[in-house]
């Protein structure tokens, strides 16, 4: 595969330090690339060879936490996927994290392994500004990978504007931003869209971490819809997390993590949108089962919920429905109900004669397909599929701008699209809260109207 020859695009704004190599300015949502990926091209990491070329591929990581370096909680670990995709070309020039000790410890661990060459010269900084002040021309990144908590991004406010900082310091350099696009009050949603507009106007290549879009099963569903020219009639999503395994107190506090729909259900709201299209936000309606209702009692919580203010405690069940602009109907139920470790998640997509049912996408995806004229369900499994790898692989291919392969995919989740998912998750939370408020008010009114005991 040939890479586009190195050279800086003529229209690019000058940077403090110019990149030593080519800078791709391809928009993630435009261009000649396929809007979906041929599922047969999504190969597990152990069967993928690292990208060609020999020159260093400089990367900056923002955040030294679980998403970047892995944890027992799940299969995520971006650094591992970068190592496999870029091989010896990977050079992590900086790791940005205010928790210097944590950052230093993860680097130390990497330097004890065979990937040492990627990390032996990595410098740790508390902020991106510190890095920019101290960098030399050879440190210029090709990509900045952001895995800091969402409260520090997705706005235009100082300290919460990492996307704008990156574009200012490194114009034309690609970004990867973890989901959700932001967390803050709903009143800040327009700011997230303003960030998206800045990214689009700058022509910055940006991928957002909705990795389930890169699942082989999901791309097979897309392929069936495209090849049969289907119109989606409905999406039905269910996400039941294993709450016993969630020990982060912030997760249980709406004021800290924005609640389970915005923080966690977002993956399934995003997948629903991926198949259903634009959502009519005014149509979103939702109900919740709350912590203080009898059916909402949980016996195996690992955190002390009494330490969380009552108004910030999370719902146990949230069930939402909405209309897509196409006329199709979407529904989503999120449950904080299961114990043990594994989540139970399913997405069904319906079109005339078709049922596409995706089961267990996080652990071992299975796709059940029912086709026209048949009552039978085909079952497809996808052993060793790794959407985290595919997501990073597509990002790097886009940055490297591999031109000879017309099947190289587009980035599947742009910042603007991620903002729409963010907006949907907030619409669900607000609709559920509004219905709860109405119920409490009517209960209060009924109690006030009840005749006093004799």
Burial class from Cβ neighbours inside 10 Å (0-12, 13-18, 19+) for residue 252 reads buried
Of the candidates 209, 95, 181, 87, the one whose C-alpha atom is nearest the C-alpha of residue 144 is 95
Specify the 3-state DSSP secondary structure of 224: helix
Task: Please state whether beta strands 354-359 and 344-351 pair in parallel, antiparallel, or not at all (unpaired).
Answer: antiparallel
Who contacts 348 (Cβ-Cβ below 8 Å, separation ≥6)?
234, 235, 236, 237, 355, 356, 357, 358
Which is closer to ligand NAD, CB of 99 or CB of 298? 99
CB-based contact 316:289 (threshold 8 Å): yes
Structure tokens, 168: 């200012």
With CB under 6 A as the contact rule, which of the stretches 38-46, 93-101, 219-227, 276-284 interacts with ligand NAD?
93-101
Q: How far is the CB of 59 from ligand NAD (least distance, A)?
A: 15
Q: What are phi and psi of 356, to 5 degrees?
A: -115, 110
Q: How far is the CB of 378 from ligand NAD (least distance, A)?
A: 28
Which is closer to ligand NAD, CB of 42 or CB of 234? 42
Footprint (CB under 6 A) of ligand NAD, residues 312-331: none
Does 106 participate in binding ligand NAD (rule CB under 6 A)? no
With CB under 6 A as the contact rule, which of the stretches 46-54, 79-87, 144-152, 214-222 interacts with ligand NAD?
144-152
H helix or E strand, kind and range, residue 286: strand 285-289
Does 277 participate in binding ligand NAD (rule CB under 6 A)? no
Binds ligand NAD (CB under 6 A): choice among 35, 52, 88, 98: 98
Cβ count within 10 A of residue 130: 14
Does 152 participate in binding ligand NAD (rule CB under 6 A)? yes
Q: How are strands ordered across the β-sheet holding 206-208?
A: 123-125, 90-96, 57-62, 143-146, 174-177, 206-208
H helix or E strand, kind and range, residue 351: strand 344-351
Does 150 participate in binding ligand NAD (rule CB under 6 A)? yes
Q: How far is the CB of 209 from ligand NAD (least distance, A)?
A: 4
Which is closer to ligand NAD, CB of 328 or CB of 428? 428
Q: b/e string for 83-102 if b means 16 or more Cβ within 10 A?
A: bbbbbebbbbbbbbbeeeeb
With CB under 6 A as the contact rule, which of the stretches 146-154, 224-232, 293-301, 371-379 interacts with ligand NAD?
146-154
Footprint (CB under 6 A) of ligand NAD, residues 49-88: 62-67, 76
Q: How far is the CB of 259 from ligand NAD (least distance, A)?
A: 13
Which is closer to ligand NAD, CB of 24 or CB of 390? 390
Site string for ligand NAD, 179-208 (x = CB under 6 A): x-----------------------------
Could you list the residues that contact ligand NAD (CB under 6 A)?
Answer: 62-67, 76, 96-99, 102, 147-150, 152, 178-179, 209, 211
């Amino acid at each position: 595969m040939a890479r586009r020859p190195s050279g800086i695009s003529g229209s690019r704004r000058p940077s403090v330090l110019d990149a030593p190599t080519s800078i791709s300015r391809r928009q993630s949502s435009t261009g000649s690339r396929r809007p979906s990926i041929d599922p047969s091209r999504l190969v597990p990491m152990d069967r993928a060879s690292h990208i060609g070329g020999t020159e260093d591929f400089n990367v900056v990581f923002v955040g030294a936490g679980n998403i970047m370096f892995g944890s027992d909680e799940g299969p995520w670990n971006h650094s591992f996927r970068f190592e496999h995709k870029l091989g010896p070309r990977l050079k992590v020039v900086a790791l940005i994290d205010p928790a210097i000790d944590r950052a230093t410890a993860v680097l130390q661990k990497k330097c004890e392994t065979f990937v040492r060459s990627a990390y032996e010269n990595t410098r740790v900084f508390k902020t991106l500004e510190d890095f920019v002040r101290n960098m030399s021309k050879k440190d210029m990144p090709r990509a900045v990978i952001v895995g800091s908590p969402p409260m520090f991004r997705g706005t235009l406010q100082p300290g919460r504007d990492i996307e704008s900082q990156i574009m200012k310091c490194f114009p034309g350099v690609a970004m990867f931003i973890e989901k959700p696009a932001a967390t803050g009050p709903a009143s800040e949603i327009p700011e997230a869209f303003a960030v998206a507009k800045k990214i689009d106007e700058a022509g910055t290549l940006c991928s957002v971490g909705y990795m389930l879009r890169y699942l082989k099963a999901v791309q097979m569903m897309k392929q069936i819809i495209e090849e049969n020219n289907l119109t989606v009639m409905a999406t039905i999503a269910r996400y039941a997390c294993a709450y016993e395994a969630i020990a982060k107190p912030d997760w249980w506090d709406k004021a800290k993590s924005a609640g389970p729909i915005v923080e966690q259900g977002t993956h399934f709201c995003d997948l629903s949108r991926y198949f259903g299209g634009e959502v009519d936000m005014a149509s979103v309606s939702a109900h919740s089962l709350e912590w203080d209702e009898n059916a909402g009692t949980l016996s195996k919580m690992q955190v002390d919920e009494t330490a969380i203010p009552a108004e910030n405690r999370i719902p146990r069940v949230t069930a939402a429905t909405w209309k897509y602009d196409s006329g199709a109907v979407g529904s989503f139920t999120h449950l904080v109900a299961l114990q043990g470790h594994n989540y139970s998640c399913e997405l069904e997509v319906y079109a005339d004669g078709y049922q596409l049912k995706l089961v267990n996408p996080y652990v071992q995806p299975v796709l059940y397909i029912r086709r026209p004229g048949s009552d039978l369900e085909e079952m497809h499994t996808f052993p060793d599929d790794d959407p985290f790898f595919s997501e990073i692989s597509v990002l790097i291919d886009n940055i490297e701008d591999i031109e000879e392969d017309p099947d190289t995919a587009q980035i599947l989740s742009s910042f603007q699209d991620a903002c729409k998912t963010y907006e949907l998750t907030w619409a669900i939370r607000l609709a559920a809260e509004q219905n709860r408020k109405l119920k409490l008010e009517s209960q209060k009114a009924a109690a006030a109207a009840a005749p006093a005991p004799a």
